[in-house]
Chains A and B, each alone.
Chain A
Amino acid sequence: MSATPVLALRGVSKRFGAVQALTDVELEIHAGEVVALVGDNGAGKSTLVKTIAGVHPIDEGVIEWEGRPVTISRPHDAQDLGIATVYQDLALCDNIDVVGNLYLGRELHKRGVLDEIEMERRARELLSTLSIRIPSVRIPIASLSGGQRQTVAIARSMLGEPKLVILDEPTAALGVEQTAQVLDLVERLRERGHAVILISHNMADVKAVADRVAVLRLGCNNGVFDVKSTSQEEIISAITGATDNAVTRRAARSAEAKNGESATNDKSAENAEKAEANK
C-alpha cells in the first residue's frame, strides 16, 4: 500500500437547499485497496459518490488526488483524473451489442469509420482478462442476464484504465452465483492495482471483499474499520448508530425518568415533612 492515497477527502460538505447531505466527511483510498462505503438509506453514500464522480460539486472541503488538491466540478473532470463510476442502474443501451456498449462514447475509429474489428478484439481481450463470460460480444445487452449486464458495466469502467473504480451497489439485484462472480471481479480489480470504492448494503459482501469499511451516518463519518479485526455487529451498530438509536434512547429516557421521579419523590417527601413540621 502506497503512502499517498489515490483519493482523499478532507472535510467535505455538501448542502442541498435546507438539507445538509454531507458534513465534514473524511475518506482515504489507496491503490490496490477495496474500501466499502456503508450506511443506512439517506446516510449520504450516494451523495458522496456523486461528489467524487463530479455529478454534484462539493460546497466545502478539499478533494486530494494522489496528494494534490483538485476540483471536480463535472463528470468529465473525474474521468480525466482516472475515476470510473458504475451506477446502480448501469446505464447500458439495450439495443446495442456488448462491444458497442463497452465503447459507447469513446468509439475507436479510423478516419471517421468505426474500427469494429479492433474494438471487438480488445473487448474480447478485456473480458477474458477479467474472466467475464458472456455468450457473445455481438449480442445486444437486452439478451444478457442481470449479472452479465453488471459485469459488462464494470468491464466498461475498466476500459479507460482508471485508478479508482466506484461501484454503486453492484450486487443489489443479483442471485447467489452472479453475486459471487461480481465479487470475484472486484478482487481482480484489486489484484490489478485499482482502488475500489464499493457501496453495499450486504454485510456478507463487504466482509468478503473489502479491506476497510467506512461508515457514514446522517452525512457524517461514523468510523472507519478494518474488516479483518472488526465484527459484523460492530459495523452494523456503527451504521444504525447503536449508541444513539430507539433502544438506547428509550433506555436513557427511562433511566432519566426514574431519576427524575425519585427526585420529585424526594421533594414531595421533603415538602410533606415540612408541612408536617409546620403543623
Chain B
Amino acid sequence: MSTEKTSTATAATAEAPADHQVENPEAAHDAVAAVDPRLLVREQGLAGYFGEFKRKLHAGDLGSVPVVVGLIVIAAIFQSLNSNFLSAKNLSDIAVTMVATGMMAVGVIFVLLLGEIDLSVGAVSGVSGAVVAVLSVSQGMNEWLALLVAVAGGAVIGALHGFFFARIGAPAFAVTLAGLLFWQGFMLQLLGDTGTINIDREGAVGSLTTYFFTDVAAAYGLAAFAVAAYFLSGFLDSRRREAAGVPARPLSDIALRAAVLAVIAFAAAYMFNQYKGLPLALVLFLAVLVGTDFMLRRTPYGRKIFALGGSVEASRRAGINVTAIRISVFALAGTFAAIGGLFWASKIAAANQSAGTGELLMNVIAAAVIGGTSLFGGRGRTWNALLGVMVIVSIQYGLALEGIRTPVQYMITGAVLLITVVIDSVTRKTQKTAGRA
C-alpha cells in the first residue's frame, strides 16, 4: 500500500518538471515492482532460456532430459552392434508395436498422477481383445460396433475398480490386483476351449496396425502441420499474454522449440516414407497424446487430477468432488487399457490366451515411470508415455535383432527401470534441497 502511494506521488510530481519526466516514472515503476532480491527472475531472450535450463538442472528438475539421453544411448549401442537397428523398417516396426503398450501407459499415467496404481490394465486389455474377437468373429457382430463395446467395457471395468477404491475406500493396489485375477479369468472364459480367435487383418481392428498412409505427402504434411500448430499456438498465447500484461514466453524461445520439433518431426516423416509410409497406429497414438495432454494441462478436469495428486485434503476443501474424479480416472485407465488391447489384438491378428499377461503390465508401468511420471503422484505428462514406451520397445527390438533371448531382455528392462527409479529418487532429493518438491 505504502509503496503504491509513494509511486503515484512521484509520478504526479514527475509531470511538472520536464527534465525529470523520463527518470521519475522509471523510478516509480521500480518502486512498484520492487521485488525480493532472492527471487528467480528469468531474463528475456535466449540467454534467459539457457540460464533457466541450467538452473533447473542444478535444482534437479531434469524433466525429460534423462530419458532422451537414455534413448540416444540405446540407439547408439544397438546401432553399433547391428546396423539394421536404425533402418527405416526396424524403426517403423518399433513405432507400430509401441502403440499398444503406449496407449495403456497413458491410462496408467492418469492413475499415477493421483498417486495410485492400476495393476489390472494388462488383464483389461486382454478382455478387450477377447470381446472384440468373440463378438465380431464368433457372433458375427459388426466389427465397429464390437470395437465400441470393447472400449466401453473397458471404461465400465475401470469405473468399477474406481468405485471400490474411491467409494468403498479399499486400497487401489488390492482392488486392481483382484481385478487382474478376475479379468484374466474372464478373458479365458470368453475365449473358451479353442483359446485363440483369429482376426481379419483387413478389418476395422486389423487395420489399426496394418494400415499405412503410403502417400509421401501424408507424413510430411502431418509434420508440417504439427510444427505450424505448435508455433502458432505458442505465438498466439504469447501475444495474448503480452496484451494482458502478464509475463510471456519470448519469441526466440518459441521459435527454438518449434525448430527442435521440426527437426524431429521431419526426420521421423522422412524415415517413415523410406518404408511403408506413415503408420495409422502412430497417428492415433499422437492424437491421443495431444488430446490427453490438453485435457490434463488446460482444462479444469485435468487441474483437479493434479490437485488430487498434490493434496487430497486441499482438494476436498476446495470443493472438488474427490470420489467422482477418482472414479473417472480409473474409468479412463480402463478405457485406455481396452484401446491398448485392441492394438495388441490387431498387431498379433488374434485374441489369444496369453494376451494381456506376462510382462505386459510391468512394461506399461515401467513405460510410464521411465518416461518421467512420478510414482508419488502429481507430477507427469501423458507425453511421458511416448518416451517411456520408446525406450522399452527399442530395447526389446534391439535385443531381438541381436538374437538375445527373453530372459536377458527381462533383466535388461529391469535394470533400465531401476536406473529410472534411482534417477527419480535422486532428483527428488535434489529438488527437496533446492526447495522444489
Q: A residues within 8 Å of B by Cβ?
A: 75-76, 79, 87, 89-96, 100, 104-107, 109, 112-114, 116-118, 120-121, 124, 128, 131, 133, 135-136, 138-140, 142-143, 188
Bound CA span A117–B85, Å:
45
Contact A133 B246 (CB under 8 A): no
Please judge, given known A-B contacts A91-B314, A96-B310, A142-B437, whether A120 and B300 are in contact too, CB under 8 Å. Answer: no
Contact B300 A142 (CB under 8 A): no
Bound CA span A107–B307, Å:
12
What are 17 A-B pairs with beta-carbon distances under 8 A? A75-B317, A89-B313, A91-B313, A91-B314, A91-B318, A93-B315, A94-B310, A100-B303, A100-B306, A104-B307, A109-B300, A113-B299, A117-B237, A131-B4, A135-B36, A138-B247, A143-B435
Contact B436 A96 (CB under 8 A): no
Known: A95-B377, A142-B437; 13 extra A-B contacts, CB below 8 A, are: A91-B314, A94-B378, A95-B306, A96-B303, A104-B307, A104-B320, A105-B318, A106-B318, A109-B299, A113-B298, A120-B244, A135-B39, A143-B436
Bound CA span A77–B307, Å:
23
CB distance from B187 to the nearest CB of A (A): 36
Please judge, given known A-B contacts A93-B307, A95-B310, A104-B314, whether A135 and B40 are in contact too, CB under 8 Å. Answer: yes
Q: Of A76, A89, A107, A142, which one neighbours B303 at CB under 8 angstroms?
A: A107
Say yes or no for B408: interface residue by CB 8 A criterion: no
Q: Which residue of A lies closest to B38 (CB)?
A: A135
CB distance from A90 to the nearest CB of B (A): 8
Please judge, given known A-B contacts A95-B309, A131-B1, A142-B437, whether A87 and B378 are in contact too, CB under 8 Å. Answer: no
Q: Which residue of B lies closest to A156 (CB)?
A: B318
Contacts of B435 in A (CB 8 A): 142-143
CB distance from B9 to the nearest CB of A (A): 16
Contact A94 B311 (CB under 8 A): yes
Bound CA span A75–B320, Å:
12
Q: Which residue of B lies closest to A145 (CB)?
A: B435
Contact A136 B306 (CB under 8 A): no
Contact B315 A136 (CB under 8 A): no
Contacts of B240 in A (CB 8 A): 117
Bound CA span A96–B244, Å:
22
CB distance from B88 to the nearest CB of A (A): 38
Contact B40 A136 (CB under 8 A): yes
Q: Which residue of A lies closest to B248 (CB)?
A: A117
Contact A91 B303 (CB under 8 A): no
Contacts of A93 in B (CB 8 A): 306-307, 310-311, 314-315, 378
1/0 contact string of B306-340 vs chain A (CB within 8 Å):
11011101110111100000000000000000000
Contacts of A113 in B (CB 8 A): 298-299
Could you tell me which residues of chain B, from 132 to 146, have a CB within 8 Å of some CB in chain A? Answer: none
Residues of B in contact (CB 8 Å), total 39
Say yes or no for B354: interface residue by CB 8 A criterion: no
Q: Of B40, B300, B317, which one neighbours A114 at CB under 8 angstroms?
A: B300
Contact A112 B307 (CB under 8 A): no
CB distance from A223 to the nearest CB of B (A): 32
Contacts of A105 in B (CB 8 A): 304, 307, 315, 318-320
Bound CA span A94–B240, Å:
28
Contact A87 B39 (CB under 8 A): no
Q: Which residue of A lies closest to B33 (CB)?
A: A128
Contact A136 B39 (CB under 8 A): yes
Say yes or no for B35: interface residue by CB 8 A criterion: yes
Contacts of B36 in A (CB 8 A): 133, 135
CB distance from B282 to the nearest CB of A (A): 26
Could you tell me which residues of chain B, from 1 to 28, have a CB within 8 Å of some CB in chain A? Answer: 1, 3-4
Contacts of B436 in A (CB 8 A): 140, 142-143
CB distance from B312 to the nearest CB of A (A): 10
Contacts of A79 in B (CB 8 A): 319
Q: Which residue of A lies closest to B308 (CB)?
A: A93
1/0 contact string of B29-45 vs chain A (CB within 8 Å):
00010011011100000
Contact B246 A121 (CB under 8 A): yes
Say yes or no for B358: interface residue by CB 8 A criterion: no
Interface pairs A-B: 7 shortest CB-CB: A105-B318, A93-B310, A95-B378, A91-B314, A95-B310, A135-B39, A104-B318
Bound CA span A117–B245, Å:
9
1/0 contact string of B230-247 vs chain A (CB within 8 Å):
000000010011001111
CB distance from A258 to the nearest CB of B (A): 56
Contacts of B377 in A (CB 8 A): 95
CB distance from B318 to the nearest CB of A (A): 3
Contact A133 B313 (CB under 8 A): no
1/0 contact string of B154-188 vs chain A (CB within 8 Å):
00000000000000000000000000000000000
Contact A92 B246 (CB under 8 A): no
Bound CA span A133–B304, Å:
26
Bound CA span A96–B378, Å:
8
CB distance from B42 to the nearest CB of A (A): 8
Q: Of A92, A109, A118, A143, which one neighbours B311 at CB under 8 angstroms?
A: A92
Say yes or no for B276: interface residue by CB 8 A criterion: no
Contacts of B298 in A (CB 8 A): 113-114, 116
Most buried by A among B36, B244, B314, B319: B314
Say yes or no for B201: interface residue by CB 8 A criterion: no
Q: Which residue of B lies closest to A79 (CB)?
A: B319
CB distance from B74 to the nearest CB of A (A): 30
Q: Of B1, B32, B313, which one neighbours A188 at CB under 8 angstroms?
A: B1
Contact B244 A118 (CB under 8 A): yes
Q: Of B35, B319, B379, which one neighbours A95 at CB under 8 angstroms?
A: B379
Contact A117 B307 (CB under 8 A): no
Contacts of B39 in A (CB 8 A): 135-136
Bound CA span A142–B310, Å:
10
Contact B3 A131 (CB under 8 A): yes
Bound CA span A104–B378, Å:
14
Contact B244 A117 (CB under 8 A): yes
CB distance from A240 to the nearest CB of B (A): 33
Q: Of B241, B303, B304, which one neighbours A117 at CB under 8 angstroms?
A: B241
CB distance from A136 to the nearest CB of B (A): 7
Q: Which residue of B lies closest to A92 (CB)?
A: B314
Bound CA span A116–B309, Å:
20
Contacts of A91 in B (CB 8 A): 311, 313-314, 317-318
Could you tell me which residues of chain B, from 210 to 246, have a CB within 8 Å of some CB in chain A? Answer: 237, 240-241, 244-246
Please judge, given known A-B contacts A124-B246, A188-B1, whether A133 and B35 are in contact too, CB under 8 Å. Answer: yes
Contacts of B38 in A (CB 8 A): 135
